[in-house]
Amino acid sequence: MSKGTIKDILIAFVFYSIVVSAVFYKIVKDPKQFLVTSGDGMKNYYTFMYHIRYDTSYMTFEGMNYPYGENIVFTDNQPIIANAVKLLSNFIPELYCQLPIIHNLLLLLGLVFGGLGIFLCFRRLKVEFYFALVCGAGLMLLNPQLNRISAHFSMFYPVLPWLFLIWFDYFQNKNQLRSSFLIATIITVSGLVHMYFFITGAILVILSLLAYYLINYKNTKVLNIIKSIIIQVFLPFLILTFFSSYFNHATDRPNEPWGFFSYHSSWEGLLFSYKLPLFEFVNDNIVTVRSVEFEGKNYVGLFECFCNIICGFSFDF
């Protein structure tokens, strides 16, 4: 990594830190506050802080399901982050008194690193520095997961930009084995923040490798694709299954989590913000837009989709 690249990363990190601090000024000003608007939020603070402060095991949460305890993977307490803080607090006991602050600032730091990942993706695409910097900030703040900051904290972190960044090396045939293990590491670690990150990453990896093979089938061996899927998807699956099953004391746990197929997006949730003037214009003058559950609002934008269609036709012709 050149000095220029390191300098660009440092500038981007500082810039995104300033942007996040400005947008979430109330949190930065008073980081010990509880960021909750629902029972899930308070529960997730409880599982995070109780595990660090009182649990005698790193994998069992003793604050519920008495007297057996519960596997921390199912408590939504950001297991790998909670355990890292728990381990560190053994050497710095003062951390016990600052757990809400640590929790909240880690959320904002995760958002900063998400923006940094987007910025690095733009730079790999040879986008000019300042344009990449500004667009990275915009996409960082357009992340639909930002609404999770009031309850489902573990799903707040923008993980996917770092997965996309490693794809540049993999799909350019730059040490694909190394890239596969890096992708596996990202998927595993993010899965230990929240299992949905594993599911999302695994689906994207399989689809991307399938598309890569269909486009380059003449120069790509099927065995290489299978090997990549085994490393990038099945290896994280085995690791996460071990953590969620070996320390599992429940014998009647359902095989499928409730809500996974109940909450989904629709075209309205992708095309409309339900706040901006374009939505009001379409809803009042053209067609009534159906309301969408909160979980289904993943705003991409009507204009953005239109531009992508135009660009797609322009490349074809």
Residue-level pLDDT at 46 = 93
Query: Which among 86, 105, 111 is positioned nearest to 19, based on CA atoms?
Result: 111
Residue-level pLDDT at 315 = 58
Low-confidence residues in the chain, pLDDT < 50: none
Task: Determine the Cα–Cα distance for residues 46 and 176; give it in Å rounded to an integer.
Answer: 41
Residue-level pLDDT at 269 = 81
Answer whether 79's CB lies under 8 Å from 88's CB.
no
2: left (phi over 0), alpha (psi -120 to 50) or beta: beta
Question: In sequence order, what DSSP letters do the residues of 178-235 get, joined into one string?
Answer: HHHHHHHHHHHHHHTT-HHHHHHHHHHHHHHHHHHHHHSTTT--HHHHHHHHIIIIIH
Task: Determine the Cα–Cα distance for residues 96 and 203; give it in Å rounded to an integer.
Answer: 38
Residue-level pLDDT at 107 = 94
The alpha carbon of residue 155 and the mean position of all alpha carbons in its chain are separated, in whole angstroms, by: 6
Residue-level pLDDT at 135 = 93
pTM of the model: 0.85
